[in-house]
Structure 1
Amino acid sequence: MRVPSRSPGHQPGPAVASTAPAARRLPAGGRRTTAAPDLAAYRSAVAELLVEVGALADAPSTTARQVLLDQRLREPAVAAVLDATPQGLVGARETLLLEMARYQPNARSSAHDLTALVRIYLLSRIDVLWWRDSPTFLTDEQVRTSTELVDLEWLRRRGLLDFRYQEQPATVLGRGLRAVRRRLRPDATPRTAGLLFRRARREMIAFLNDLGREFAAAGPPGTPPLWVTSLARSAEHQYRLRRLGYAAMVPSGHCLGWAADVELAWYERFGARTTLAGLLLARQEAGEINVIDEGQAWHVCLAPAARRRFRRAYEAEMGV
């Protein structure tokens, strides 16, 4: 099984415009192809490309990297995926080159080097391919008020969640208390800023509940429950993260409501990291999710093929 590169990861990226797909030329004959791209072949090609990018990571190799990308992104397995995204192959290539030109490593970013940046960008295009017709949450207000999203806190208080999360402190006092707790018990929880929006699609809640139960059953004794570090967020917040130096790609599955970030690194101390990684990769191979290794946390995006099943699961679990 070909899986995403395990090279470490952490970084940022541009600004949002219209959510409408960019106009692209149709293939010869005037029709778009309807065959679904081969995602296994795409991931395999990306993994091979990353090895070559890693060998050209130094500053003097800028021209060589561009030539490499020009060649590799036009390979059939890669071009089929990129051309099916709203930007198309040319737009994806130009965006990736711009991201690489702007790249500055920093401690906040999940793209700790250029190789990780390329991996995160290219694998995140699967999310965009899957949900290209799904509307983007453009503003924070849209996330807070959308009827497509459910308040997690309401469910948590009723014992209906099989995963954990923490919210971002909203005040200076709250941030101070969080810092004190971390000093007193540095490993009690993952080192994450927490959720700005404690809201998620119903299908994502059902998926994370299902994963949380599976992890609880498979993990070593004493393993804490599944921890989610990010869910739905707005394009407005995505650009806020980019300005802070995070690898917040645009467009993003988070801004469509179909992605989440799951803590991985923290579970190393419980001997459960490999178990959780295996569960995620098995679900990816089954076509249920897309997975991106971003180092401390792994990005997951629900596949459209799994949407109906998890919507039904949510309704059954919540009695609606």
Structure 2
Amino acid sequence: MRVPSRSSGRQSGPGVVPAAPVRRLPGPSPVRPSPTRPSPTEPDLAAYRAAVAELLVEVGALADAPSTAARQLLLDQRLREPAITAVLDATPQGFLGARETLLLEMARYQPNARSSAGDLTALVRIYLLSRIDVMWWRDTPIFSTDAQVNSSIDLVDLEWLRRRDLLQFRYQEQPANVLGRGLRAVRRRLFPAATPHTAGLMFRRARREVVALLNDIGREFASATPPGTPPLWVTSLVRSAEHQYRLRSLGYAAMVPSGHCLGYAADVEMTWFQRFGVRDVLADLLLARQAAGEINVVDEGQAWHLCLAPAARLRLRRSYEAEMGV
């Protein structure tokens, strides 16, 4: 099957607000640009993904340690291809900043069991494809601190929605203390395949548009899979930049800047669904939405990273309001 790289609070805190939105987004629904005919003011993302896929083949051939100089020369040449330069230049860092960040990420790379980047090729894939997220939302302020995530009126409490049966996906929170982590470990030993092997959400909060997107995907996934298949499982949502740096210090491939810190990204479990024979079904659903211009998809191994496209934001905000009856 195709993969994206080749085709293209834990507590809600005192600031938690109920699910009803603070304000509606006015105006008519925008016309979506054709995925095969990009807007003249936006880079051609199909060409960008194709160029990245070609670059990854060459990086894979130079993955050994003695090839450091050859890899840097390769990147210097290939990143200057118009399709790649157009995207990198449209990110907040600009072309030079994005290039230097990628080279630093590669120089510092150390494989470990926690990182979604199993090798240098995966690191380059994750970094370059995730630049689409930050290009899309380049004018959106990030959530810098945990406190900002917990108090933002632009985010809703997932637990409030879950208790009212308004979510079409599942998640679990990170344990809050040593006792919670111990109980989680015991459950995993007793029932190792009952849930995905993931740390869970640090913040159980999300933008309304992202909730609507995940509910849409969850319904579509449930309709396309046999009875008894578990619902869509979300492993990560909004993160603060503060938490992103904590993850980096632990060895995770947490890119900076990131769509998670903007609140428009989510990670969904993939590997666990292999035991139910439906991983490819979910992958095809996600790639179809990418082809329609609704999301960006990055294969990160066990989970796939999704980021909402700005063109789909208003439709999904209205979908959320209609679904929640507000």
Contact 1:222/1:270, CA 8 A, preserved across alignment: no
In structure 2, distance between residues paired with 1:299 and 1:203: 16
Matching residue of 1:123: 129
Contact 2:3/2:299, CA 8 A, preserved across alignment: no
Residues 12-27 of structure 1 mapped to structure 2, 5 A cutoff: none
TM-score w.r.t. the length of structure 1 is 0.90
Partner deviation per Cα, 1:47-94 (whole Å, 9 max, x = no partner):
000000000000110000000000000000000000011111111110
Matching residue of 2:251: 245
Given residue 151 of structure 1, which amino acid in structure 2 is its aligned partner?
D
Given residue 43 of structure 1, which amino acid in structure 2 is its aligned partner?
R
Matching residue of 2:310: 304
Match of 2:221 among 215, 235, 252: 215
Partner deviation per Cα, 1:294-319 (whole Å, 9 max, x = no partner):
00000000000000000000000111
1:201 aligns with 2:178: no
For residue 5 of structure 1, report the CA deviation from its aligned partner: 2.6
RMSD: 1.5
Matching residue of 2:97: 91
Match of 1:80 among 73, 79, 86: 86
In structure 1, the gaps of 5 or more residues are: 7-32
Matching residue of 2:268: 262
In structure 1, distance between residues paired with 2:5 and 2:225: 23
Matching residue of 2:282: 276
Partner deviation per Cα, 1:191-223 (whole Å, 9 max, x = no partner):
000001000000000000000000000012321
* Corresponding residue SS for 2:266: strand
Matching residue of 1:41: 47
In structure 2, distance between residues paired with 1:180 and 1:81: 46
* Corresponding residue SS for 2:123: helix
In structure 2, distance between residues paired with 1:70 and 1:173: 50
Match of 1:64 among 64, 70, 73: 70
In structure 1, distance between residues paired with 2:226 and 2:119: 33
Given residue 87 of structure 1, which amino acid in structure 2 is its aligned partner?
Q
> Percent identity over the alignment?
83
1:173 aligns with 2:179: yes
* Corresponding residue SS for 1:46: helix
Given residue 177 of structure 2, which amino acid in structure 1 is its aligned partner?
T
Q: How many residue pairs end up in the alignment?
A: 295
Contact 1:195/1:229, CA 8 A, preserved across alignment: yes
* Corresponding residue SS for 2:194: coil
Contact 1:138/1:234, CA 8 A, preserved across alignment: yes
* Corresponding residue SS for 2:268: strand
* Corresponding residue SS for 1:47: helix
Residues 129-140 of structure 1 mapped to structure 2, 5 A cutoff: 129-140=135-146
Contact 1:230/1:262, CA 8 A, preserved across alignment: yes
For residue 248 of structure 1, report the CA deviation from its aligned partner: 0.1
In structure 2, distance between residues paired with 1:89 and 1:182: 44
Contact 2:145/2:243, CA 8 A, preserved across alignment: yes
Matching residue of 1:113: 119
Matching residue of 1:152: 158
In structure 1, distance between residues paired with 2:148 and 2:81: 38
* Corresponding residue SS for 2:134: helix
In structure 2, the gaps of 5 or more residues are: 7-38
In structure 2, distance between residues paired with 1:301 and 1:135: 16
In structure 2, distance between residues paired with 1:34 and 1:240: 39
Matching residue of 1:14: none
Q: 1:285 to 1:3 in 2, by over 3 A?
A: farther
Matching residue of 2:4: 4
Given residue 4 of structure 1, which amino acid in structure 2 is its aligned partner?
P
Given residue 143 of structure 2, which amino acid in structure 1 is its aligned partner?
F
